[in-house]
Amino acid sequence: MLDKHNMNKLNVDSKKMRRLYSLLFFLYFSTVAFSQGKLSKSDLIKLDFSILAANKKKLQLKDAELLPAYRQLISNANRLLNYQPVTVMDKTAMPPSGNKHDYMSIAPYWWPDATKANGLPYIRKDGEVNPEVNAYPDKEHLPKLCENVYLLALAYYFSDNEKYAAHASKLIQVWFLDDATKMNPNLNYGQAVKGVIEGRAEGLIDTRHFIYLIDAVNIIKNSSKWSASNQASLKQWFSEFLDWMQTSKIGKDELNANNNHGVWYDAQRLSMALFIDSTHLANSIVKNLAERLDHQMNVDGFFPLELERTTSLHYSVFLLNAFYIAAQLSEKTNMNLWNFQTNTGKSLSKAFTAIHPYITMQKKWTGKQIHEFNFQDAVPLLLRSSVKYNCEDCAPAIKTISRDNFEALLFHLL
């Protein structure tokens, strides 16, 4: 039996442990959910299907340089076969609509006001993530779902093993198509700010991962495990979501965003427009992106609104990643953004030239960056620039950034 001294000591130790757990909880989720703009990982890259086809032929000939990455992909995909479907119905909190089928997240940089008893309305702390965002699993589930479907589809493509397509198909159906679990095709409650607004235009940044999922669907559409009915139903879902994006107040507000949000908005809807075979819309979106490039970039090749952020290198890279995705997609339209130059001399090539020495670690970034920059976020830029802009030191930079297990990283196949 504990005496009074030991009981008091136990109470003190319990308080210390609770404080420690609280601190660890905060640090963990601050790392996991670093920001609304964090890429899932460096291996999540907009697919170039001509490169995929060439690499598949090399693998069929047992190309020694690609085999480590292929084996790692298959190993990862095998583990993903145990990944169970997730759904918007998993959340315990109810959206303002009273319908769990509606996606919901809360804005990451908004915190309870400590001067108010109920913490409302929330106040903004740029670059500092409120761990409360993780209480709404839609925001966590959606990118992970898209990433896992993407990897499973790639495993199917390179191995021709239908089991990977079958699991990818199941994951997609549960999130998008099954009546009991599907997400409604809107984002009315994305990045809500408690006490201020039920949903914001900024919430549309949450769905940028749809771009990678659509890539995956374009891979598995030839599989026996993905039916023509599934393809038609998913196209209808994205058609409805795209319509919501372009007609809702939230969607229109995001269209008018002059920073990375606007570019990601256009990159998303360009991906969807091409997926649903709306060529006319795709051409108009690319034209809009060209106009964005002209007015969002300065004469030095940087983007002033991103430079104002507390994590300015991160957001400069984040925005350029969106432009690169759009440039890849633009290859299917009547304007190729890779080589486009505005009347004022703005171009993606110029933007890359400006950011290049900082993401290859040749120069130290002097802008504000309150968190250490994750150089892996720059891998998609370096990978595509090595081909599109003949960047000779991009590949060595990727190797330096990647460090351990470089030969087995997925980007070798992409």
Cβ neighbors of 32 (< 8 A, separation 6 or more) are 134
pLDDT band at 18 (very low <50, low <70, confident <90, very high): very low
Cβ neighbors of 372 (< 8 A, separation 6 or more) are none
| Confidence (pLDDT) at 403 | 80
Q: What does the alpha-carbon distance between residue 59 and residue 43 come to, in Å, rounded to a whole number?
A: 19
Q: What does the alpha-carbon distance between residue 337 and residue 347 come to, in Å, rounded to a whole number?
A: 8
| Confidence (pLDDT) at 92 | 85
Q: Which residue has the higher pLDDT, 149 or 14?
A: 149
Helices 348-359 & 379-388 angle (0-180, nearest 10) = 130
Instruction: Count Cβ atoms below 10 Å from residue 312 Cβ, excluding itself.
Output: 23
| Confidence (pLDDT) at 101 | 98
Cα torsion 151, 155, 157, 160: sign: negative
Strand partners, 311: 369
pLDDT tens digits, one per residue of 21-76: 333 333 333 333 333 333 334 457 999 999 999 999 999 999 999 999 999 999 99
pLDDT at 3 over 50: no
Q: Which residue has the higher pLDDT, 25 or 320?
A: 320
Domain assignments of the chain as residue spans, ordered by start: 42-89+143-185+201-413
The pLDDT of 128-156, averaged and rounded, is 93
SS3 of 271-326: the string is HHHHHCCCHHHHHHHHHHHHHHHHHHCCCCCCCHHHHCCCEHHHHHHHHHHHHHHH
pLDDT at 9 over 60: no
Q: Determine what percent of the chain is predicted with pLDDT higher than 90.
A: 83
Q: Which of 37-51, 96-110, 114-128, 354-368 has the lowest mean pLDDT?
A: 37-51
Q: What does the alpha-carbon distance between residue 244 and residue 405 come to, in Å, rounded to a whole number?
A: 43
How big is the CA angle at 228 (ends 247 and 167), to the nearest 5 degrees?
95
Reduced to 3 states (helix: H, G, I; strand: E, B; else coil), residue 372 is: coil
Q: Considering only CA atoms, which of 375, 261, 280 is closest in space to residue 322?
A: 261
pLDDT tens digits, one per residue of 350-380: 999 999 999 999 999 999 999 999 999 999 9
CATH of span 42-89+143-185+201-413: 1.50.10.100
Q: Report yes or no: 329 and 267 within 8 Å, Cβ to Cβ.
A: yes
Q: Which amino acid is residue 290, in one-letter code?
A: A
pTM reported for the whole predicted model: 0.86
pLDDT tens digits, one per residue of 162-208: 999 999 999 999 999 999 999 999 999 998 999 999 999 989 998 99
